[in-house]
Amino acid sequence: MNEHTFDINNKKIYVAGSEGMVGSAVCKELEKENCQVIKTPRSETDLMDKQSLDRWMSSNNPDAVIICAAKVGGILANQSYPVDFLYNNLIMQCNLINSSFKHNVKKLVFLGSSCIYPKFSPQPITEETLMSGNLERSNEWYAIAKIAGIKLCQAYRKQYNCDFISAMPTNLYGPNDNFDLENSHVIPALIRKCHEAKKTNNDTLEVWGSGNVRREFMHVDDCAKAIIFLLKSFSESEHINIGTGSDITIKNLVEMIKKIFDYRGNIFFDSSKPEGTPQKLLDVSKINKLGWRAKINLEEGLRQVISGLKEENFY
Ligand SMILES: NC(=O)c1ccc[n+]([C@@H]2O[C@H](COP(=O)([O-])OP(=O)(O)OC[C@H]3O[C@@H](n4cnc5c(N)ncnc54)[C@H](OP(=O)(O)O)[C@@H]3O)[C@@H](O)[C@H]2O)c1
pLDDT above 90 for 71: yes
CATH architecture label of 12-174+217-244+283-288:
3-Layer(aba) Sandwich (3.40)
At 315 the pLDDT is 61
* CB within 8 Å of 251: residues ≥ 6 apart: 211, 212, 267, 269
pLDDT one-digit tens code per residue, 261-314: 999 999 999 999 878 778 899 999 999 999 999 999 999 999 999 999 887 766
Question: Where residue 179 falls among pLDDT bands split at 50, 70, 90?
Answer: confident
| pTM (predicted TM-score) | 0.96
Q: For this structure, is 263 an active site residue? A: no
Residue from 68, 86, 244 whose mutation best tests the ligand 1 pocket (most atoms within 8 A of CB): 68
At 146 the pLDDT is 98
At 59 the pLDDT is 95
Using the mean position of ligand 1's atoms as its centre, give its distance from the Cα of residue 120 in Å. Answer: 26
Residue from 22, 130, 183, 281 whose mutation best tests the ligand 1 pocket (most atoms within 8 A of CB): 22
Residues with CB under 6 A from ligand 1: 17, 19-23, 42, 46-48, 68-72, 92, 111, 113, 169, 171-172, 178, 185
Give mean pLDDT, residues 48-59.
Answer: 96
Ligand 1: atom nearest CA of 169 is 6
- The residue from 14, 81, 117, 142 that is catalytic is 142
Question: Where residue 2 falls among pLDDT bands split at 50, 70, 90?
Answer: low
At 313 the pLDDT is 65
Greatest CA separation found in the chain? 61
Using the mean position of ligand 1's atoms as its centre, give its distance from the Cα of residue 2 in Å. Answer: 32
Using the mean position of ligand 1's atoms as its centre, give its distance from the Cα of residue 236 in Å. Answer: 24
Ligand 1: atom nearest CA of 48 is 31
pLDDT one-digit tens code per residue, 132-167: 999 988 889 999 999 999 999 999 999 999 999 999
Indicate the pairing of strand 171-173 with strand 248-249: unpaired
pLDDT above 90 for 44: no
CB 166, CB 226: distance < 8 Å: no
Work out the percent of the chain whose per-residue pLDDT is above 90. Answer: 84
Using the mean position of ligand 1's atoms as its centre, give its distance from the Cα of residue 111 in Å. Answer: 10
